[in-house]
């Protein structure tokens, strides 16, 4: 069995070693434009270069080393429809998202962002507590990661709401779906957490019009993709006070350029796309299990619906 591997960071050695451990029957080859000679059985990629497409068009399945599929979907038309594209499902990312989002929500609920500023300024001043019942948390996207975050947030007793494409039910969570359900969802979400895939439907979803529907003094946490948020609109709403603060892990341009105004806005907390990292060992174990299942003629979960884009 031949597997073609591409890593943008070039750090392929540990991937080859872990594949040898989890799938010893496979020969993993690092893609190179000059030397790769197909056909290969499987490809393992995240954001492959255009020059790799000829090889990708011949494999039995393409495995992605992330949960988000937007980096490959830009080539959707060039990859034959019969080739399954299989993304990571959790593989250790859900726990990381639960930690990151819970921390960000609690930081705002307990006003620790303001105490951090007071601490730097040498100010000893207790602030009025937020009311738990007023601190509703709405999660956009109730998939593998979003639903795990909602589960984690249940511990703290905030009113919880979730928004998905199709109807859903989740104990302890008020569920909304579709564009028809978006307004009501936004109007009741004091903290908005974006955990959506980036698709033509969700791109720019958080523009001025939609973010203005959030209650006054709302908070935004974006751990999905930068292109979900209209960045100038967010700045405007933060400066007006309609949005109190935002925690952003993802941006339209990454790394976030030094001259970007977000760096100058103290109410915006920036992290460098680390809310849920791909854990190599767990990811390769998941891929190896699925490759074995496919080899045995079984179906596998995590196949991207390429008509929906996620």
Residues noted as catalytic: 225, 273
**C-beta of residue 85 within 8 angstroms of C-beta of residue 140:** no
Q: Which CB atom, from 127 or from 274, has the smaller least distance to ligand NDP?
A: 274
DSSP 8-class letter at 303: B
Q: Which CB atom, from 63 or from 310, has the smaller least distance to ligand NDP?
A: 310
When asked if residue 249 is in the footprint of ligand NDP (CB under 6 A), the reply is yes
**Rounded to 5°, angle at Cα 243 from 169 and 125:** 110
Whose CB is nearest to ligand NDP?
Answer: 143
When asked if residue 302 is in the footprint of ligand NDP (CB under 6 A), the reply is no
When asked if residue 138 is in the footprint of ligand NDP (CB under 6 A), the reply is no
State how far the alpha carbon of 310 is from the alpha carbons of 197, 199, 300, in Å. Answer: 6, 7, 16
Q: Which CB atom, from 107 or from 165, has the smaller least distance to ligand NDP?
A: 165
User: How many residues interact with ligand NDP (rule CB under 6 A)?
Assistant: 30
When asked if residue 144 is in the footprint of ligand NDP (CB under 6 A), the reply is yes
**Which of 67, 137, 132 is closest to 104 using CA atoms?**
137
**C-beta of residue 218 within 8 angstroms of C-beta of residue 192:** yes
Of 15-23, 105-113, 256-264, 272-280, the segment contacting ligand NDP by CB under 6 A is 272-280
Strands of 243-284 (E only): list them: 243-248, 268-270
User: Least distance to ligand NDP from the beta carbon of 229, Å?
Assistant: 13
DSSP 8-class letter at 184: H
When asked if residue 223 is in the footprint of ligand NDP (CB under 6 A), the reply is yes
When asked if residue 224 is in the footprint of ligand NDP (CB under 6 A), the reply is yes
Residue of the chain from 6, 23, 63, 68 that contacts ligand NDP (CB under 6 A): 68
Q: Which CB atom, from 26 or from 87, has the smaller least distance to ligand NDP?
A: 87
Give the C-alpha separation, 206 to 233, whole Å.
Answer: 9
Give the C-alpha separation, 69 to 305, whole Å.
Answer: 10
Of 29-37, 75-83, 218-226, 234-242, the segment contacting ligand NDP by CB under 6 A is 218-226
Q: Which CB atom, from 131 or from 180, has the smaller least distance to ligand NDP?
A: 180
DSSP 8-class letter at 188: T
37 torsion bin: left (phi>0), alpha (psi -120 to 50), beta (else): beta
């Amino acid at each position: 069995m031949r597997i073609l591997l591409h890593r943008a960071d070039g750090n392929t050695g540990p991937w080859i070693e872990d594949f040898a451990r989890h799938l010893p029957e496979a020969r993993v080859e690092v893609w190179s434009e000059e030397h790769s000679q197909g056909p290969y059985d499987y490809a393992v990629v995240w954001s492959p270069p255009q020059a790799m497409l000829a090889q990708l068009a011949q494999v039995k399945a393409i495995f992605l080393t992330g949960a988000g599929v937007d980096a490959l979907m830009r080539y959707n038309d060039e990859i034959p429809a019969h080739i399954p594209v299989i993304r990571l499902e959790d593989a250790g990312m859900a726990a990381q998202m639960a930690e990151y989002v819970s921390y960000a929500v609690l930081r705002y609920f307990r006003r620790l962002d303001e105490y951090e500023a007071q601490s730097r300024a040498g100010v000893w001043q207790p602030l009025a507590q937020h009311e738990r019942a007023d601190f509703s948390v709405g999660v956009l996207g109730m998939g593998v990661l979003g639903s795990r975050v909602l589960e984690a947030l249940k511990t703290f007793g905030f009113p919880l709401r979730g928004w998905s494409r199709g109807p859903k039910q989740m104990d302890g969570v008020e569920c909304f779906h579709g564009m028809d359900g978006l307004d009501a969802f936004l109007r009741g979400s004091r903290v908005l957490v974006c955990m959506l895939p980036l698709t033509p439907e969700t791109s720019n979803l958080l523009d001025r019009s939609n973010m203005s529907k959030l209650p006054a003094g709302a908070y935004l946490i974006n751990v999905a993709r930068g292109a979900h948020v209209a960045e100038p609109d967010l700045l405007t709403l933060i400066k007006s006070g309609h949005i109190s603060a935002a925690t952003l892990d993802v941006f339209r341009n990454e790394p976030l350029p030094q001259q970007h105004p977000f760096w100058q806005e103290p109410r915006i907390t920036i992290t460098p796309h680390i809310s849920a990292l791909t854990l190599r060992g767990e990811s390769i174990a998941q891929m190896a299990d699925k490759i074995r299942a496919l080899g045995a003629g079984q179906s596998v979960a995590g196949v991207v619906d390429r008509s929906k884009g996620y």
